[in-house]
Amino acid sequence: MIRTLWRFAALASVAAMASAQTAPSPIAVQSPADVYGPLFRAVQQGHVFADGKTFVDAVPKRSAEAIMADYVRTKPAGPALKAFVLANFVVPGENDRGSGDLRTHVRTLWPQLVRQSVAPIAGSSALPLPAPYVVPGGRFREIYYWDSYFTMLGLKVDGQQPLVESMLDDFTSLIERYGHIPNGTRTYYLSRSQPPYYALMLDLSTNTDPAVAKRRLAALRAEHAFWMKGTACLDGKPACLRVVRMPDGSVLNRYYDDRDTPRDESYAEDVVTAAKAAPRPVADTQRNLRAGAESGWDFSSRWLRDPRSLATVHTTDIVPVDLNSLLWAMERRIAARCQTGGDAPCAATFTTLAAKRKTAIDRYLWQATTARYADWDLLTRKPTASINAAMLHPLFVGLASQAQAKAVAATVRKSLVAEGGLRTTTLNTGQQWDEPNGWAPLQWVAIAGLARNGEPALAKDIAKRWLGTVGAAYAETGKMLEKYNIEQRTPGGGGEYPVQDGFGWTNGVTSAILNRYPDLAQKAKEGRR
């Protein structure tokens, strides 16, 4: 046995030597020092980058020969040397942010924003959800109501239908447990809702199970009952809870909040604002701040008597065009779902409710003389002067006539189209839902609303401008942001907290726009119109 092993080892040694004699010599591979010679030495010895590994990992934007020819010709030094390197290389940590395709970037973000169902810890503010969901990102670590519709638009076109369905399960569960969908899934949000998009979310579902459809219709009717609960307590008053009585006796809705204390999440700020509003009752100011939060536009000159003073907030006096458009869409969908389910009395009831709401919207919120939809002030009994992007909601849900849509489009062109997208309002007040900020959900409402109402060119123009803004900020920061300055095409500002990245509804709207207009992908990548 030993002799056999020695014999095997000897044969292996001979084979190894033979292999070494016949193996090809290693391929000559040049390192950055070899390729870039004098440029390499100048960069490394000049400590152009703090980490010596930075330049050696850089990726050339063109051929090494062309780069070196320009280097020898120009001989840059000092700051000019770094500028030369950044112009000719993609340098890690320096100019590599946002270098990829926007749509691909969004798709890689979805898994990072997904949260699984977990049982809340006793004493925490979190509300439990039964299925996985997507959060906006940044400081927003829970699911939010109206954000989610725009997030779901992107999930759907990015092949994430199971997440769309699971989020619908979550929202259905919230209605079943609490009677409405709260602002967000925290205990401190339960006293208010947000713009009611649940009916439109259901349009995104592909689930055909009759039992699921029945459950969702029941939830949708319960949500409608939440918004209309104040009908029973009007008793000659102009408003109760979220319901208002218009001068002719018709019924529309407003934003509200069931509590009149400082918001838990903005307690100190609300205390200060209420103090500035004196001698106005503190509870009145707090209620109106909370109602502004229910609107999703927290805060905007839409809700202020004095556009420069948050202390003049009077959200509960305003009959908003966006809210009433969404409730009209909800009533229409309830009627259709009842008809499909064989419930003719329900279908007739909600068809009538929708028709009455449209009549009231046309009478009070449509302003033919100024070619716009406007919010209505219950105290002055007049439309407000605010020109804002909410006017596009009747187009978005299909409520506007052809003539109304054409008039709104003209006003949008004149007053709301900016260099980088659609303006929120025409007033620069320092509030985040005012100029110069632009917001993804309002861009989509405008794009989809104009496109469905015979204004495809304007719709695409807004989409192109907005994608240019998102693309420019992405190239600069490598992030998708909550809001943008659409005048300067930079990250947005104003409001109660720093601009957040993540970001659910920007991701969703970006994917939805690129899915609708794939030819705009290059513009988005370039970050320009």
Catalytically active residues, by annotation: 298, 482
Question: Do 486 and 420 touch, CB atoms closer than 8 A?
Answer: yes
Helix (H) or strand (E) holding 19: helix 2-22
| Length of the chain as a residue count | 529
Residue 383 bridge partners (DSSP): 376
Tell me how far apart the alpha carbons of residues 279 and 277 are, in angstroms, rounded to a whole number: 6
What is the Cα–Cα distance from 98 to 323, expressed in whole angstroms?
36
Asked whether the CA dihedral 162, 165, 171, 172 is positive or negative, the reply is: negative
Contact between residue 202 and residue 216 where contact means Cβ atoms under 8 Å apart: yes
Residues with Cβ < 8 Å from 315, sequence gap 6 or more? 254, 255, 288, 289, 291, 292, 294, 295, 303
Place of tokens 């993804």: 440
- Which value, in Å, is the radius of gyration of the alpha carbons in the chain? 29
Residue 280, both tokens: 């106005």
DSSP for 216-243, written as a single string? HHHHHHHHHHHHHGGGGG-TT-SEETTE
Strand 484-485: give its sheet, edge to edge.
437-438, 484-485, 490-491
Is residue 189 a contact partner of residue 146, using CB atoms and an 8 Å limit? no
CA 88 to chain CA centroid, nearest Å: 35
Residue 181 and residue 173 in contact, taking contact as beta carbons nearer than 8 Å:
no
Bridge partner list, 367 = 372
Which helix (H) or strand (E) is 329 found in, with range? helix 321-340
Give the contacts of 93 (CB within 8 A, at least 6 positions apart): 54
Task: Name the strand (E) or helix (H) holding 444.
Answer: helix 440-451
